[in-house]
């Protein structure tokens, strides 16, 4: 799990750089900040599916995973918009500072959701992985 979290973090950092660049560009183009955040979030989400599926979780590309990923991303998008609005309007943070504060907790929540629900191993693979983890290594006699 530590290796997956590290890889998810690397992918997430790249996605955050992509989404932050998109967000600031859209703000410069006078796009409303909640819409800019949604578009930026989507750009990172598409990139994240491909990289996390292949590299972080080494999962097959299945329709179930795509649908589950869209559901997790939608929940993350709603949480992102609500928390960003609260950070800007209730906490009085700037739009950029609010965005940078909101992204880390959403990233952790999405890692957990992706690991548990979207890219989970099929049951036989999970059982085999658990057996390997708990089987003592005995050197040959």
pLDDT at 37: 86
Residue extents of the structural domains in the chain: 2-120
pTM of the predicted model, to two decimals? 0.62
Q: What band does 111 get if pLDDT is binned at 50, 70 and 90? A: confident
pLDDT at 131: 56
pLDDT per position as a tens digit, 9-48: 898 888 888 988 999 999 999 999 889 988 988 888 888 8
Region for residue 130 given its phi and psi (left: phi exceeds 0; alpha: psi -120 to 50; beta: otherwise): alpha
* 100-105-110 Cα angle (round to 5): 115
Task: Write a three-state SS string for the chain.
Answer: CHHHHHHHHHHHHHHHHHHHHHHHHHHHCCCCHHHHHHHHHHHHHHHHHHHHHHHHCCCCCCHHHHHHHHHHHHHHHHHHHHHHHHHHHHCCCCHHHHHHHHHHHHHHHHHHHHHHHHCCCCHHHHHHHHHHHHCCCCCCC
pLDDT per position as a tens digit, 51-108: 888 888 888 888 888 889 889 988 988 998 899 999 999 999 998 899 889 988 888 8
């Amino acid at each position: 799990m530590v290796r997956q979290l590290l890889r998810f973090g690397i992918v997430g950092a790249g996605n955050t750089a992509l989404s932050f660049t998109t967000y600031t560009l859209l703000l410069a183009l006078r796009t409303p900040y909640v819409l800019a955040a949604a578009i930026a979030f989507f750009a990172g989400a598409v990139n994240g599916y491909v990289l996390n599926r292949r590299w972080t979780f080494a999962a097959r590309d299945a329709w179930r995973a795509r649908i589950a990923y869209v559901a997790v991303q939608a929940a993350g998008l709603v949480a992102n918009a609500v928390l960003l609005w609260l950070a800007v309007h209730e906490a009085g943070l700037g739009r950029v500072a609010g965005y940078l504060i909101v992204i880390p907790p959403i990233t952790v929540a999405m890692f957990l959701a992706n690991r548990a629900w979207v890219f989970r191993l099929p049951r036989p693979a999970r059982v085999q992985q658990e057996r390997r983890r708990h089987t003592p290594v005995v050197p040959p006699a």
